[in-house]
Structure 1
Amino acid sequence: METTIIDYGTKIKKDSLAYNLHSWSAQGGLNPKVITKAEGIYFWDADGKKYFDMSSQLVNMNIGHGHRKVVDAIKEQAEKMAFMGPAYAFDVKSEAARKIVEVAPDNMGKVFFTNAGAEANENAIKIARMFTGKYKIFSRYRSYHGASYGAANLTGEKRRFPSEPGIPGFVKFFDPYLYRAPIPFKDEKEATKYYITQLREQIIFEGPDKVAAIFLETVTGSNGIIIPPEGYLKGIRDLCDEFNIVMVCDEVMAGWGRTGEWFAVNHWDVNPDLITFAKGATCGYIPLGGVIVSSKIADFFDENTMWCGLTYSGHPIGCATAVATIEVYKEEKLMENSKKVGSVLGKILETLKTKHKCVGDVRYIGLFSGIELVKDKTTKEPLVPHGNDPEKIMKNILGMLSSEGFATYSHDNILIVAPPLTITEDELKEAMEIMDKVLDYVDNMISV
Structure 2
Amino acid sequence: MLPQEIIRKKRDRRPLDAGEIAEFVKGVVSGAVSEGQVAAMAMAVLLNGMSRDEAVALTLAMRDSGDVLDWSDLPGPVTDKHSTGGVGDNVSLMLAPIVAACGAYVPMISGRGLGHTGGTLDKMDSIPGYVSQPDNALFRKAVLETGCAIIGQTANLAPADKRIYSIRDVTGTVESVPLITASILSKKLAAGLQSLVLDVKVGNGAFMAKSRDATELATSLVEVANGAGLKTSALITGMNEPLASAAGNAVEVANAVDFLTGRWRDPRLLEVTLSLAAEMLHAAGIAASNQQGLQRANEALDSGKAAEVFGRMVAALGGPRDFVEKADAYLPRAAVELPVPSPTDGFVTAIETRDVGVAVVALGGGRTRPQDSVDHAVGITRLLPVGHEVKRGEPLALIYARGEVDAQAAAAKVLAAYQVGGRRPSRQKAIIRRISPHG
The question of a shared fold, defined as TM-score above 0.5 by the shorter chain, is answered with: no
Q: TM-score, normalised by structure 1?
A: 0.32
Q: TM-score, normalised by structure 2?
A: 0.32
